[in-house]
Amino acid sequence: MSIAIARSLRTASHAELRRHIVEGHAIDPSAIEGYAYRGTSLGLPRLVELATWKTFQKTFWRHPDGRLLGWNVRLEQDGIDAPSRPKRKHGVPVTEWPYGVIACDGVPMPRGFDRGLVIDYSLAPNPPQQRLVKDPLVALSAGDHDALLGVSYVVLGGRCLETPTYFTLERDHRIDHVPDVVKAEVGR
């Protein structure tokens, strides 16, 4: 059911997407741990999507020290419903922007965005501008972790600035590659 909801959001307005974030459901971190999710960017101008990506993957991996971490995987842009096919360099998937995944307690965020988990790019070795970004995530249906909804916002000088960058995540497969930067450097 939540996959159908996620796919119906592909044509939703920003107001409807925001409503789904505010009305979303909590996420059990153990339910997403160990999985790669296929992401679909929502609501961005076509030109921005062409310069970045329409589809991608986000991962959720439990570090041996107990933290829930992740990274973005660049996908070949084969079409919105095509199977995930990671871009590769030197035989391994192209990954970028590692992150920590944390509870929303104590994290500055826009009003109403406190329902799920937060992808926090400041917890990893990212470019300075990326470290300002946070992505709250919610489940689209209570107790169903197969489809999630997220949005990016920026924390600048203690103020939260919402962006039009919404995305859905659909459970894709078990993680089969952990980048060295995540294993060795995140959270040092």
Query: In this predicted model, what pLDDT tens digit does every residue of 92-114 receive, in sequence order?
Result: 999 999 999 999 988 899 998 98
pTM equals 0.92
Long-range contact set of residues 122-130: C-beta below 8 Å, sequence gap at least 24 = 123/99, 123/186, 123/187, 124/69, 124/97, 124/98, 124/99, 124/100, 124/182, 124/185, 124/186, 124/187, 125/98, 125/181, 125/185, 125/186, 126/97, 126/98, 126/99, 130/97
pLDDT per residue as tens digits for the range 40-49: 999 766 766 6
Domain 2-184 sits in CATH at: 2.40.128
pLDDT of residue 158: 85
Residue-wise pLDDT for 53-98, tens only, equals 789 999 999 999 999 999 999 999 999 999 999 999 999 999 999 9
What is the pLDDT, as a whole number, of residue 103? 94
Cβ atoms of 33 and 62 within 8 Å: the answer is yes
Query: Above 70 in pLDDT, residue 51?
Result: no
Residues 100/124, Cβ–Cβ less than 8 Å = yes
pLDDT given at position 61: 96
- What confidence tier does 181 reach under pLDDT thresholds 50, 70, 90? confident
Residue 43 is predicted with a pLDDT of 75
